[in-house]
Amino acid sequence: MSDTTGRVRELNLYRQYFDLVASGTKTIEVRVKYPHLADLAAGDSIRFRIKGSDETCTVNVTRVTEYPDFEALLDGEGPASVNPTAPRDEQLTNIRKIYPPEKEALGALAIRMKLSS
């Protein structure tokens, strides 16, 4: 008998992105394809936390798509899904401030999500 229950991951988010996720307006989370996220899949859940606080928000993962870099991810997913409050070029700059080139070289993950009910 196999366990079909999705896993729960805990990830930190900056306040500005946390608020967009919690309101349901941010539907794509961008992450580097770190080894601990390589097996993230639809059916898993993510509990986002604002670092240093007890504030959390849980989402269900509906799809994970890998891209070679952040530009391809924004082109493939559409910037409005990643951050509806910022234009594409600003998003790319902000993402690259968080993840330097050596991290981006690992690959980019677009995590489609919806708020848990």
| 94 sits in which H/E element | helix 88-98
pLDDT of residue 83: 96
> Is residue 1's pLDDT more than 50?
no
Q: Residue 2 has what pLDDT?
A: 46
For 23-75, what is each residue's pLDDT tens digit? 999 999 999 999 999 999 999 999 999 988 999 999 999 999 999 999 999 99
Q: What are the Cα distances from residue 4, in Å, to 41, 44, 64, 94, 112?
A: 12, 10, 17, 36, 20
Average pLDDT, the chain: 94
pLDDT digits (tens, 9 = 90+) for 81-102: 999 999 999 999 999 999 999 9
